[in-house]
Amino acid sequence: MSWQDTFNTWNEQPTLETSLKQELTTMASDNAALEDAFYQPMEFGTAGMRGVLGPGINRMNIYTVRQATEGLARFMDTLPEAVKQRGVAISFDSRHHSKDFAHESARVLGAHGIKSFVFESLRPTPELSFTVRHLHTYAGIMITASHNPKQYNGYKIYGEDGGQMPPKESDLITSYIRKADDLFAIDVADETQLLADHVETIIGDDVDQAYLAKVKEVTINQKLVDEVGKDMKLVFTPLHGTGRMLGEKALKNAGFKNFSVVKEQAVADPEFSTVKFPNPEFPEAFKMAIDLGKKEDADVLIAVDPDADRLGTAVRQPDGEYVLLTGNQIAAVLLHYILQANKDAGTLPANAAAVKSIVSSEFATKVADSFGVEMINVLTGFKYIAEQIEHFEATGEHTYMFGFEESYGYLIKPFVHDKDAIQTTVLLAEVAAYYKQQGKNLYNGLQDLFAKYGYFREKTTSEEFDGVGGSDKIAALMTKFREEAPRAFAGYDVVSTEDFDSQVESFADGTTKPITLPKANVLKYKLADGTWIAIRPSGTEPKIKFYVGTLGTSLDEANQKLDQFEDALQTFINE
């Protein structure tokens, strides 16, 4: 159908949810807004589906959530009964309609006789991953838009290993979603009856306690924490999301007593009223934490995003100001501490390995190499790190030590198979205590690592292409990079180009080499000086991302080169 026909179907639907009906009435004279809402269905990307709230097949609402869950349910209907009956764990964040979407999902599953285990109130994404493994459910659903602005929500499906569904299963589920094309004909069960029949179960504190018991294992040097952690001043903010309850408890359980929480941002608020973007990558998200940190003379500030799977940090300087560390810098500091502390304790396995995405810094690779630890590269998406963990556990080939993505996502211990900011909060506090014991801070520790391994600098930028035609513009830009392949950037020759879609690395001398990673729409250029540049369409937002990673003999040189490569990249885009 045309978007106009689809709009008319919705507009004439007698049982359409009242608030959505009111929004349609408001939109009725805005053809551009209507076309964007109805021209195509929402798509599953690297992390499920994510979009703006509102009426339409290209929006997050109870009908698109029912459709997605119907796809999962129909897929589970094809499984052996014993597997199907393991059910689905469901959690949700603090966003508008998150709780509604969680319970609508349970109703759709219940109509298929599939059990659901729904949290009593909002819980972090990493706890949902843990819950799938802890309760041995077949799948998990997390209602969240992570760090997106307030007008967004999202829907993630997790597999039985606690990682986000891998492409094969995700594609199958997507095919079933498309078959459920009448969004208003999807059966939903009565939730009161589901609860009475124990088809739906409400879960809460018992799972929290099991998760927190595992988080205690994250601490490496308890003596250090006991001696220094009790006095170290720390500020924590959950940015109006799910991280407060478990974050505070995890810090206290580890032995960190002297921390403060930004009260205004401790309130679960779908409007994110104190921040424009609830994203710990952005300095603006730290404004209130910095104000509190200055007031209390805090050593370190930690912010987690609304579903508590990403973490950012800021460190106090001698002049009392705070400096933010990048995601790649946090990863290098964490990995170095993990490997050094285990080496000192005699517990570093001979087959130790770390895992990172292909668009993350080589800084951490240098750190791993210095300890004789293998760094394994995977495609962007934490599900690929989870797949490596599964492989390690099945084969014994490696012992997992750490995994990360440049976008501020880290996993310390693999009892969770996704990014986990609660675990990372505890370990980062321990690392801060480690440097404080030496009369230093995290920033000083980073400078020590720069001096030892080289001055690495990275930057991620993006261009957004919203609305109708946005995906075509992104595709055209990727085509430009492929068909007009640049031979140099900022005067440095491209020595090889990795095209993960064709799974071929092409060298400047005309030779090629196969890429063994799965197909993905990603290009990565390796330059003569060790710099790399990558281009990748986002899997969750209508944007294309550009990554630059370089290094120099000093931080000033590295920063200067970063600016040069960024300018050269922009010039090529604009030509």
Residues with catalytic roles:
146
* Residue 85, CA distances (Å) to 81, 112, 173, 535 in order: 6, 10, 18, 42
- Rg from Cα positions in the chain: 24
Residue with tokens 């391994």, as numbered in its chain: 453
| Contacts of residue 200, Cβ cutoff 8 Å, sequence gap at least 6 | 106, 110, 115, 116, 117, 118, 191, 194
DSSP-derived letter for residue 551 is E
Q: Give, for 381, the enclosing helix (H) or strand (E).
A: none
> Distance between CA 235 and CA 78 in Å, rounded?
49
Beta strands in 325-422 (DSSP E): 352-357, 374-378, 399-405, 409-411
User: In a 3-state reduction of DSSP, which class is residue 198?
Assistant: coil
DSSP-derived 3-state class of residue 505? strand
| Rounded Cα gap, residues 456 and 562, in angstroms | 10
With vertex at residue 73, the alpha carbon angle to CA 70 and CA 76, rounded to the nearest 5 degrees, is: 155
Dihedrals phi, psi of 408, to nearest 5 degrees: 70, 30
Q: Which two tokens stand for residue 167?
A: 């492409």
Block residue for tokens 């980062």: 428
Q: Residues, the chain, total?
A: 575
Measured CA to CA, the distance from residue 220 to residue 188 in angstroms comes to 47
Name the DSSP letter for residue 309.
S
CA–CA distance, 384 with 397 (Å, rounded to integer)? 17
**Which two structure tokens, joined as six digits, stand for 515?**
């890429």
